[in-house]
Chains A and B, each alone.
Chain A
Amino acid sequence: MLRKKIKKFDLKILGVGLIFLALINFSCQRDDICPDSTPITPLLRISFFDFENPEVPKPPTNLRVKAADMDSIFLNRVNLSEINIPLKTDVDFTEYEFILNARTITDSVSNSNTDKIRFTYARSEIYINRACSYKVNYIDLRIAPQPMEEDTDRWIKNIVVEEENIENETNTHILIYH
């Protein structure tokens, strides 16, 4: 009788213990890394169009993209009609150089042309979860090209802000005509 009772109880304890272990395991696996599927700070999505034919996408030739205050290059000599670039999350502006016909190291002939654009915005920090921490959404995006006095030879003819609030990367935020 006594033994039976102990045995029965042991099984119960074991059961509870197993549930505990399972729960600990389960929870650890879920929380540790930020999954790729979670939306984090979005990139700025830019589409290039033909200035003459505004409906036609037109990739700039050998485009180099680089933040004005960074030594490293973000994109080098790409020929894409659509690019995604990061904006700074610690200040309310980011200045980029868009270099058309960017030269290679050995090339000193190509007629490269640098246009600067300053993006200004407000930032809204949003908590995601313990693995992904916070993301930043950009609000009220504005663009300011370099003044004509500083750059008389521009390859970018027109810039349109399609979406002022940058919350995801599904839609184009900026249209550049050249």
Chain B
Amino acid sequence: MKQTLISLYTISIFSLFNFWSVNSQTNLDTIQYKEKYGLRLGIDLSKPLKTLLQDDYRGLEIIGDYRVYKDYYLAAEIGNEELAITEQNIGATAKGSYIKLGADYNAYNNWAGMENVIFVGMRYAFSTFSQTLEEYTVSGSSQYFPPNIIEGPFETKGLTASWIELVAGLKVEILNNVYLGANVQLKRRITQTTPSNFDNLAIPGFNRTYDESLFGVGYSYTISYLIPLYKKAKD
């Protein structure tokens, strides 16, 4: 008798919990969370930081994206860079501007009320730049004569390059409308013009190149501000 009472009591508590939870869920569902749509603008933090810390680097990049539809964003980056490459036998500096245009897809399903982004994206990028051969040592198999070091600078202007980028990263809303982000980029060169009897050791926006490879890599740490233009219910 006592046992049945206890069991009845427990069941009723459980059913009550159950009822309550079901109730709350229905409540939650009825609240319409609206998501912000707008233009997000910011900068790549790593570039000014590297400008301060490294003698042979100077750069700035402005980033922006615009939420077009649900999880889809139009995205772009514009930048200017001066990067020096110093190898054992050769040194060169690339200087110029670049633009990257493309789209991001937010693959993260946010909890209600949150608007963070974990994205994958693609860009078409184009750069115009100059390549300066600073110094090189002629390679010989004999060390009998002192090394023949030739000092420049020998600058070639008006070079161009284009490439495709795959981007993956995240943007976290740390304050209202303020986002901190990080991403990595895999680049594949499509076209480039090189100085005669020389190569592009680096390309602004593409970073250093690799001999016998069309690929390049990059990363960014971003801070951006969302200018909300309108709100739309999440489904």
Q: Does B4 contact A (CB under 8 A)?
A: no
Tally of contact residues, A, Cβ under 8 A: 42
Q: Does B69 contact A (CB under 8 A)?
A: no
Residues of the B chain whose Cβ atoms lie less than 8 Å from the Cβ of A32: 88
Contact A131 B217 (CB under 8 A): no
A90 in contact with B148 given A41-B139, A136-B138 (CB within 8 Å): yes
User: Of the 9-residue stretches B36-44, B45-53, B197-205, B223-231, which lies at the interface with chain A?
Assistant: B197-205
User: Could you tell me if B87 and A130 are in contact, using CB atoms closer than 8 angstroms?
Assistant: yes
Min CB distance A12 to B, Å, is: 8
A125 to B138, CA, bound (A): 8
- Distance between Cα atoms of A93 and B140 in the complex (Å): 16
The answer to whether B136 touches A133 (Cβ under 8 A) is yes
Q: A85 to B142, alpha carbons, bound, how many Å?
A: 8
A70-B89 contact in complex given A5-B109, A134-B136, A134-B139, C-beta closer than 8 Å: no
A67 touches B212 (CB 8 A): no
Does B215 lie at the interface of the complex (its beta carbon under 8 Å from any beta carbon of A)? yes
Cross-chain contact B215 with A133 (CB below 8 angstroms): no
Query: How many Å lie between the Cα of A30 and that of B129 in the bound state?
Result: 26
Interface residues of B in 137-183 (CB under 8 A from A): 137-142, 144-145, 148, 150, 166, 168
Q: Kindly report which residue of chain A lies nearest to residue B143, judged by CB atoms.
A: A86
Complex Cα–Cα for A125 and B213 (A): 24
The contact size tier of chain B is 35 or more
On whether the beta carbons of A130 and B217 are closer than 8 Å, the reply is no
Find B140's partner among A33, A74, A86, A130 (CB 8 Å cutoff): A86
Is the pair B145, A27 in contact by a Cβ cutoff of 8 Å?
no
A residues adjacent to B (C-beta < 8 A):
2, 5-6, 9, 12-13, 16-17, 19-20, 23-24, 27, 30-34, 40-41, 43, 67, 70, 72, 74, 85-86, 88-90, 125-136
Which residues does B use to contact A, with CB under 8 Å?
85, 87-90, 107-109, 118, 120, 136-142, 144-145, 148, 150, 166, 168, 184, 186, 197-199, 201, 210-213, 215, 217
Q: Can you show 16 pairs from A to B with CB atoms below 8 A apart? A: A12-B107, A12-B120, A20-B217, A23-B186, A27-B210, A31-B87, A41-B141, A43-B142, A67-B144, A86-B140, A86-B142, A86-B145, A90-B148, A133-B136, A134-B138, A135-B138
